[in-house]
Amino acid sequence: MNGSSQHTSNKEKVIAAQAKKASLILGALSLSERNAALQQIHSLLSSRKDEILAANMLDMTEAEELVKQGKLQGSMVKRLDLARGGKFESMLQGVLDIMELPDPLGRVTYATKMDTGLDLKRICCALGVLLVIFEARPEVVVNITALALKSGILFPSPPFPSLVSTGPSTANCDGRYLL
Protein backbone atom coordinates (compact mmCIF):
# COMPACT_ATOMS: atom_id res chain seq x y z
CA MET A 1 0.00 0.00 0.00
CA ASN A 2 1.50 3.35 -0.95
CA GLY A 3 1.50 6.43 1.26
CA SER A 4 -1.33 8.28 -0.49
CA SER A 5 -3.87 5.45 -0.22
CA GLN A 6 -2.84 4.92 3.40
CA HIS A 7 -3.44 8.64 4.04
CA THR A 8 -6.86 8.41 2.39
CA SER A 9 -7.66 5.35 4.47
CA ASN A 10 -6.83 7.22 7.69
CA LYS A 11 -8.89 10.22 6.58
CA GLU A 12 -11.84 7.94 5.82
CA LYS A 13 -11.51 6.30 9.24
CA VAL A 14 -11.59 9.70 10.95
CA ILE A 15 -14.63 10.78 8.93
CA ALA A 16 -16.39 7.49 9.69
CA ALA A 17 -15.66 7.81 13.42
CA GLN A 18 -16.96 11.39 13.48
CA ALA A 19 -20.05 10.37 11.52
CA LYS A 20 -20.75 7.48 13.90
CA LYS A 21 -20.49 9.78 16.92
CA ALA A 22 -22.78 12.37 15.32
CA SER A 23 -25.27 9.67 14.28
CA LEU A 24 -25.72 8.61 17.91
CA ILE A 25 -26.69 12.18 18.82
CA LEU A 26 -29.01 12.53 15.84
CA GLY A 27 -30.68 9.16 16.48
CA ALA A 28 -31.50 10.22 20.05
CA LEU A 29 -33.31 13.43 19.05
CA SER A 30 -37.03 13.60 19.68
CA LEU A 31 -39.52 13.95 16.84
CA SER A 32 -40.12 17.58 17.77
CA GLU A 33 -36.37 18.29 17.67
CA ARG A 34 -36.00 16.61 14.27
CA ASN A 35 -39.05 18.48 12.93
CA ALA A 36 -37.66 21.77 14.29
CA ALA A 37 -34.41 21.09 12.40
CA LEU A 38 -36.42 20.38 9.23
CA GLN A 39 -38.27 23.67 9.71
CA GLN A 40 -34.92 25.45 10.06
CA ILE A 41 -33.67 23.83 6.85
CA HIS A 42 -36.81 25.03 5.08
CA SER A 43 -36.42 28.54 6.48
CA LEU A 44 -32.74 28.74 5.58
CA LEU A 45 -33.35 27.53 2.04
CA SER A 46 -36.21 30.01 1.66
CA SER A 47 -34.21 32.94 2.98
CA ARG A 48 -31.19 32.06 0.83
CA LYS A 49 -33.11 31.41 -2.37
CA ASP A 50 -31.44 34.21 -4.33
CA GLU A 51 -27.96 33.15 -3.17
CA ILE A 52 -28.62 29.49 -4.00
CA LEU A 53 -30.09 30.28 -7.43
CA ALA A 54 -27.16 32.60 -8.23
CA ALA A 55 -24.73 29.82 -7.29
CA ASN A 56 -26.79 27.42 -9.38
CA MET A 57 -26.47 29.73 -12.39
CA LEU A 58 -22.67 29.57 -12.03
CA ASP A 59 -22.89 25.79 -12.09
CA MET A 60 -25.18 25.93 -15.10
CA THR A 61 -22.73 28.15 -16.99
CA GLU A 62 -19.84 25.82 -16.16
CA ALA A 63 -21.92 22.77 -17.16
CA GLU A 64 -22.84 24.35 -20.50
CA GLU A 65 -19.14 24.93 -21.17
CA LEU A 66 -18.42 21.28 -20.37
CA VAL A 67 -21.16 20.25 -22.83
CA LYS A 68 -19.50 22.35 -25.54
CA GLN A 69 -16.19 20.59 -24.77
CA GLY A 70 -17.89 17.19 -24.99
CA LYS A 71 -17.15 16.40 -21.33
CA LEU A 72 -20.77 16.43 -20.12
CA GLN A 73 -24.09 15.37 -21.61
CA GLY A 74 -26.63 18.11 -22.31
CA SER A 75 -29.26 16.31 -20.24
CA MET A 76 -27.14 16.91 -17.12
CA VAL A 77 -27.45 20.67 -17.57
CA LYS A 78 -31.24 20.49 -17.30
CA ARG A 79 -30.95 18.36 -14.16
CA LEU A 80 -28.75 20.96 -12.50
CA ASP A 81 -31.19 23.84 -13.07
CA LEU A 82 -32.94 24.68 -9.78
CA ALA A 83 -34.87 27.59 -11.32
CA ARG A 84 -36.51 25.42 -13.98
CA GLY A 85 -40.16 24.40 -13.68
CA GLY A 86 -40.67 25.25 -10.03
CA LYS A 87 -37.93 22.85 -8.91
CA PHE A 88 -36.78 25.12 -6.07
CA GLU A 89 -40.32 25.54 -4.73
CA SER A 90 -40.91 21.80 -5.06
CA MET A 91 -37.71 21.17 -3.08
CA LEU A 92 -38.96 23.49 -0.32
CA GLN A 93 -42.37 21.81 -0.26
CA GLY A 94 -40.67 18.42 -0.05
CA VAL A 95 -38.99 19.44 3.22
CA LEU A 96 -42.38 20.46 4.65
CA ASP A 97 -43.99 17.25 3.40
CA ILE A 98 -41.32 15.17 5.12
CA MET A 99 -41.81 17.18 8.30
CA GLU A 100 -45.51 16.16 8.30
CA LEU A 101 -44.78 12.44 8.01
CA PRO A 102 -45.34 10.32 11.13
CA ASP A 103 -42.31 9.48 13.25
CA PRO A 104 -40.62 6.42 11.75
CA LEU A 105 -38.64 5.76 14.95
CA GLY A 106 -39.91 3.59 17.79
CA ARG A 107 -42.69 2.05 15.70
CA VAL A 108 -43.33 -1.63 16.47
CA THR A 109 -43.67 -3.50 13.17
CA TYR A 110 -43.85 -7.02 14.59
CA ALA A 111 -44.48 -8.48 18.02
CA THR A 112 -44.97 -12.01 19.28
CA LYS A 113 -44.90 -13.75 22.65
CA MET A 114 -42.16 -16.38 22.57
CA ASP A 115 -42.60 -17.74 26.10
CA THR A 116 -43.69 -16.60 29.54
CA GLY A 117 -41.94 -13.28 30.10
CA LEU A 118 -40.26 -13.38 26.68
CA ASP A 119 -41.66 -11.09 24.01
CA LEU A 120 -40.03 -10.61 20.62
CA LYS A 121 -40.51 -7.21 18.95
CA ARG A 122 -39.21 -5.58 15.82
CA ILE A 123 -38.90 -1.84 16.47
CA CYS A 124 -37.87 0.79 13.92
CA CYS A 125 -34.71 2.62 14.94
CA ALA A 126 -32.14 4.96 13.41
CA LEU A 127 -29.61 3.11 11.27
CA GLY A 128 -26.67 5.41 11.91
CA VAL A 129 -24.95 6.87 8.85
CA LEU A 130 -26.32 6.90 5.32
CA LEU A 131 -24.08 6.80 2.26
CA VAL A 132 -25.87 7.52 -0.98
CA ILE A 133 -24.49 7.53 -4.52
CA PHE A 134 -26.59 9.50 -6.97
CA GLU A 135 -26.42 11.92 -9.86
CA ALA A 136 -25.44 15.42 -8.87
CA ARG A 137 -28.82 17.11 -8.68
CA PRO A 138 -28.81 19.95 -6.16
CA GLU A 139 -32.35 19.31 -4.91
CA VAL A 140 -31.54 15.66 -4.17
CA VAL A 141 -29.01 16.70 -1.51
CA VAL A 142 -31.82 18.52 0.31
CA ASN A 143 -34.34 15.70 -0.23
CA ILE A 144 -32.02 13.01 1.15
CA THR A 145 -30.91 15.24 4.04
CA ALA A 146 -34.55 15.84 5.03
CA LEU A 147 -35.52 12.16 4.80
CA ALA A 148 -32.44 11.08 6.73
CA LEU A 149 -33.00 13.70 9.42
CA LYS A 150 -36.64 12.65 9.85
CA SER A 151 -35.42 9.06 10.26
CA GLY A 152 -32.69 9.98 12.73
CA ILE A 153 -29.98 9.00 10.25
CA LEU A 154 -26.86 11.06 9.57
CA PHE A 155 -26.33 11.98 5.93
CA PRO A 156 -23.07 13.87 5.50
CA SER A 157 -23.72 15.89 2.33
CA PRO A 158 -20.92 15.05 -0.08
CA PRO A 159 -19.12 17.55 -2.32
CA PHE A 160 -19.95 17.21 -6.00
CA PRO A 161 -17.63 18.41 -8.77
CA SER A 162 -20.67 19.32 -10.90
CA LEU A 163 -22.20 21.33 -8.04
CA VAL A 164 -19.21 23.53 -7.40
CA SER A 165 -21.32 26.54 -6.45
CA THR A 166 -24.78 25.16 -5.68
CA GLY A 167 -23.51 22.30 -3.50
CA PRO A 168 -22.01 24.48 -0.77
CA SER A 169 -24.99 26.86 -0.90
CA THR A 170 -27.53 24.12 -0.29
CA ALA A 171 -25.23 22.18 2.07
CA ASN A 172 -24.99 25.24 4.31
CA CYS A 173 -28.75 24.86 4.81
CA ASP A 174 -28.73 21.20 5.74
CA GLY A 175 -29.08 19.59 9.15
CA ARG A 176 -25.35 19.36 9.95
CA TYR A 177 -25.34 23.02 10.89
CA LEU A 178 -28.54 22.90 12.89
CA LEU A 179 -27.78 20.20 15.46
Q: How crowded is residue 118: how many other Cβ atoms within 10 Å of its Cβ?
A: 8
Q: What is the per-residue pLDDT across 1-25, written as a single tens digit (0 to 9) for each? A: 444 445 557 887 887 788 888 888 8
Residue 132 lies in a domain: yes
Residue 105 lies in a domain: yes
Residue 113 lies in a domain: yes
The per-residue pLDDT for 2 is 46
Q: What is the mean pLDDT of residues 113-132?
A: 89
Share above pLDDT 90 across residues of the chain, in percent, rounded to a whole number: 40
CATH number, domain containing residue 63: 3.40.605.10
179: pLDDT strictly greater than 70: no
Q: What is the per-residue pLDDT across 141-155, written as a single tens digit (0 to 9) for each? A: 888 889 989 998 887
The per-residue pLDDT for 159 is 52
Mean per-residue pLDDT over the chain, rounded: 82
The per-residue pLDDT for 123 is 93
- 165: containing domain: 30-177
Residue 2 lies in a domain: no
Give the integer Cα–Cα distance in Å for 17 and 21.
Answer: 6
Helices (H), the chain: 3-27, 31-47, 49-68, 74-80, 87-99, 138-150, 166-171
92 neighbors 45 (Cβ within 8 angstroms): yes
Residue 71 lies in a domain: yes
Share above pLDDT 70 across residues of the chain, in percent, rounded to a whole number: 81
The per-residue pLDDT for 140 is 85
Backbone torsion region of residue 41, taken as left when φ is above 0, otherwise alpha when ψ lies between -120 and 50, otherwise beta? alpha
Give the integer Cα–Cα distance in Å for 152 and 23.
Answer: 8
Domains in the chain, number: 1
Q: Taking each helix axis as running N to C, give the angle between helix 49-68 and helix 87-99, from 0 to 180 degrees, rounded to the nearest 10.
A: 130
Residue 118 lies in a domain: yes
Residue 169 lies in a domain: yes
Q: How crowded is residue 109: how many other Cβ atoms within 10 Å of its Cβ?
A: 8
The per-residue pLDDT for 8 is 56
Looking at mean pLDDT, say which of 7-11, 20-24, 108-112, 169-173 comes out highest. Answer: 108-112
Residue 98 lies in a domain: yes
Q: What is the mean pLDDT of residues 32-51?
A: 94
Least confident residue range of 30-44, 61-75, 85-99, 152-166: 152-166
Instruction: Indicate yes or no: pTM above 0.85.
Output: no
The per-residue pLDDT for 166 is 58
